[in-house]
Amino acid sequence: MTDLLIKSADLVGRGRQDVLVRDGRVAEIGSIAKAGSATVVDADGLVLLPGLVDLHTHLREPGREDAETVHSGTRAAAKGGYTAVCAMANSYPVADTAGVVEQVAALGKAAGYADVQPVGAVSVGLEGRQLAEIGAMARSAAAVRMFSDDGHCVSDPILMRRALEYVKTFGGLIAQHAEEPRLTEGAQMNEGAVSAELGLPGWPAVAEEAIIARDVLLAEYTGARVHFCHVSTARSVDIIREAKARGANVTAEVCPHHLLLTDEAARTYDPVYKVNPPLRREADVAVLRGALAEGVIDAVATDHAPHAPQDKDCEWAAARPGMLGLETALSITVLALGGPAEADWDTIAERTSRTPARIAGLEAHGRDPKPGTEANFTLVDPAATWTVVPGELASLSRNTPYAGMELPVTVQATFLRGRATVLNGKIAEETTE
Ligand code: NCD
């Protein structure tokens, strides 16, 4: 592999530096005049972040390759600045066996755009009745540590308790999709003034909060780790804050769309805004933003949920919930944390890379460059803007709620073990360099 010399990048907290990469690892940082035959990347004016890490990606393979594949989804990840993604288990078949998680990991390796860490299902078929082969998935070549029935809540408390006790034995964790199903039967959007006006059945905030409160108690009782997926309400934040203050072993993520959009969007009846958990109220958005800045919410996770046209271009009630996220997450995070002029890149690196890597146990990711670390980084232009054109996204699907919007910050380059997956803002093989 040829060496790589990144010139004049703004390293978070360390000012402008050159970074020399050899054999996929950082060899030297400082003022480096030349380095033999190294490929030189001019990073003047660009911020170098540790490669982004997504705790929550739906890659749809196996089973729904019409919506996304591991190949297309990881290209979208690379374009968004990601070097690692955690692939959720709600594929067809469900990732509830060693065979399926190994297949997903192998597809990720073959594609080569980002490291793919499969998430194993907690229960067989995500049905919430019987524990999946958690031990076999943990011991498999995919080395699964995080388990989730995402899309479904592990609502049965005894199943949740057993799953927690099990994963604790090998340092694993359960990522909970917090939704008490009895409280959300038939739900179509956030329950509140807007759902009442539109006459759509509501998904009340308490359905999320009740499960988060219960699982905080179960985490404390068992001593096991719980991670809360896509936290969407102000009261959920309160519960997590209190739990952390008591020392409970819990972490939480928020999705970009919950940091920007509200249930007012449902007035359009455009199913692109239908998502689970639903878009909430302005007051929730404000609290989530504050909690992310503060660190009560540990990480941004995309919940990238690609859907084929027939599942989205239909009436609201028939549409599947979910929206694309990988290619817009960094821009939306920057917007939500005060905009590009105010961007605190250290906090952004913490919430989008370092902390999610730590939660998922991905040791080669989420690391600021220093000699010896794997060269997994992204170079972003903090001053640039771009317009979201669905047809130009790398994802196979088109269900982005940001179509036509002008967003701050562009991803100029992404490097996975020193190899460019994105260069000059384009998937590397499409560049002329
Ligand atoms: C997810 C999907 O499409 O897989 N959709 C979503 O709106 N987040 C699963 C889910 O949580 O319903």
Domains of the chain (ranges, CATH numbers):
4-47+372-427 (2.30.40.10), 51-360 (3.20.20.140)
Nearest to 74 by CA among 128, 136, 22, 117: 117
Mean pLDDT (the chain) is 97
Instruction: Report the pLDDT value the prediction gives residue 431, as an integer from 0 to 100.
Output: 44
pLDDT at 430 over 70: no
Pairing of strands 377-387, 47-50: antiparallel
Q: How many Cβ atoms from other residues are within 10 Å of residue 99's Cβ?
A: 15
**230 among annotated binding-site residues:** yes
DSSP single-letter state for residue 394: S
Instruction: Report the pLDDT value the prediction gives residue 35, as an integer from 0 to 100.
Output: 75
Atom of ligand 1 nearest to the CA of 274: 7
Instruction: Report the pLDDT value the prediction gives residue 118, as an integer from 0 to 100.
Output: 98
% pLDDT > 70, the chain = 99
Please check whether residue 352 is in contact with residue 299, taking contact to mean a CB–CB distance below 8 angstroms: yes
pLDDT at 274 over 70: yes
% pLDDT > 90, the chain = 97
Pick the catalytic residue: 303, 311, 368, 381? 303
Please check whether residue 427 is in contact with residue 420, taking contact to mean a CB–CB distance below 8 angstroms: no
Output the CA torsion 386→390→392→395 (10° steps). 120
Q: Whose CA is nearest to atom 2 of ligand 1?
A: 305
The dihedral through the CA atoms of 156, 159, 162, 167 has a sign that is negative
Our answer on whether the CB atom of 276 is closer than 6 Å to any ligand 1 atom is: yes
The tokens describing 341, both together, are 């002029």
Nearest to 123 by CA among 147, 87, 92, 100: 147
**152 among annotated binding-site residues:** no
Q: Whose CA is nearest to atom 6 of ligand 1?
A: 322
The tokens describing 10, both together, are 């703004």
